[in-house]
Amino acid sequence: MGQNTRSMTTGSPIKNIFFFSLPLMAANVLQQAYIMTDALIVSRTLGVDALAALGSADWFSFMMISIIQAIAQGFAILMAQDFGGERIGHLQKTIATSIKLAIILTVVLTGLSILSISPMLHFQNTPIEIYSIASDYLYYLFFGLFAFMLFNFGSSVLRALGNSKSPMYAMVISTFLNIGLDLLFVVVFKWGVKGAALATVIAQLFAGIYCVVVMHYVDVIHIKKEDFKKEEGLDSKLLKLCYPLIFQNITIAIGGIVVQSKVNQFDIAHIAGVTALNKLFGLLELAAIAYGYAMVTYIGQNYGANQMRRILDGIKASFIIGILTSILTGILLVIFGYQIIGIFMIETSSVAKEAQWIGYDYLRLLAITLPLLYLLLITRSILHGFGDTVMPMISGIAELFARLLFALVLCTPLGWEAIKWSEPSAWIAADIILFVSLYRIIKNMKVSM
């Protein structure tokens, strides 16, 4: 294999998974750093109202960006299987066809997202005092969706081929560029939240360009003009991997949007507190996302190589390190969470102090129930590696119904407690679906002892 690729079909499964995950964790730390910095600069420069406005925009922006991530991840599943099975010729066709589809889908998604801003903010019951701020932020962010696709597509291709370091380096570029541009656009130029959105888009663009440059030097990628010619059934095969992932992420986001609409019916302190929590949410799932990406590549490559015993060993290893990591992360967030939430509250008003406590109270509950989220993300990624994107989609539907139950039905009798428990309940619902699905796959696997 070339220096920019890595086979996970040999060697210790737990070492493969863990060391592949480390650069991804580092990348996630950097991503979380600039998400927090973005919110920190906005809140400290523009105040609690601006922070609340970002919160009102969070779930809708998550929906659109997660659709792009789903497209890139879906395409990468087949790439990992081609690479693991050493079908290098077909890998070129898969990448070329994926590029064409990614361009078309990004254009369509950009138009739909921009047209949906006003209806979505009204649906979320966005308070009038923060409506225009949230609208401006989303408008500039969505015009730059092509940059998010470039980065996510490039990093997904590299991860599928076993390269987790280059996506980390891309995130280093993105993080420092984003922080620098945030300070320039928001603090110096006084562009407000639209400056924060532009900083994010430009940072993603340069990270994506870096990934494309790295891809150019990967030994097994040598795409020719004829690779872009249509291969019967390849388009539909790639899209079939993507559609369930897209639907899964949309349903998860819809649940979040409905919950946010209920949060917006509380006061600014609750909205700001939840926004601060959302900006910290990446700390909770940081390692789980890295393990998940590792498992998509690990399962995909070994499934393509028909290494069933290695797959079982890898699944066991991922659950062990996932549970241990979630417990340690949860303990740290319970101990230091209040102080971390307080970073976003520069104001000394009673509203800011109340928002800090509300955010920490919610964070503490999520930290305690964190193993549920880690098992969810790891198991979902394992199924993706097998090429099963349907059952993870159904688990997303289960998350949606759980959130709707707590936000729409139980919010009236339970109040704020229903909002807090909507997230852990969604994790439990998804875990049940995913564990049953994984059990059935393992049961049907033919493993030589």
352-409, pLDDT tens digit by residue?
788 888 889 999 999 999 999 999 999 999 999 999 999 999 999 999 999 999 988 9
What pLDDT is attached to residue 412?
84
Q: At 347, is the pLDDT very low, low, confident or very high (cuts 50, 70, 90)?
A: low
- Residue 7 within any structural domain of the chain: no
Beta-carbon contacts of residue 444 (< 8 Å; ≥ 6 apart): none
For residues 266-292, average pLDDT = 83
Q: Is 346 helix (H, G, I), strand (E, B) or coil?
A: coil
Backbone φ and ψ for 195, nearest 5 degrees, come out as -65, -40
Q: Is 157 helix (H, G, I), strand (E, B) or coil?
A: helix
CA distance 304 to 173: 33
- Residue 55 within any structural domain of the chain: yes
- Type of residue numbered 37: T
- Residue 3 within any structural domain of the chain: no
What pLDDT is attached to residue 1?
47
Number of structural domains in the chain: 1
What pLDDT is attached to residue 448?
46
Nearest alpha-carbon partner for 113 in 70, 152, 144:
144
What pLDDT is attached to residue 4?
67
- Residue 15 within any structural domain of the chain: no
What pLDDT is attached to residue 449?
37
- Residue 386 within any structural domain of the chain: yes
CA distance 287 to 322: 8
- Residue 206 within any structural domain of the chain: yes
- Residue 14 within any structural domain of the chain: no
CA distance 241 to 444: 21
Q: Is the pLDDT of residue 308 over 80?
A: yes
**Domain residues for 141?**
20-442
Q: At 294, is the pLDDT very low, low, confident or very high (cuts 50, 70, 90)?
A: very high
Q: Is the pLDDT of residue 435 over 60?
A: yes
Instruction: Compute the mean pLDDT over every residue in the chain, rounded to the nearest whole number.
Output: 90
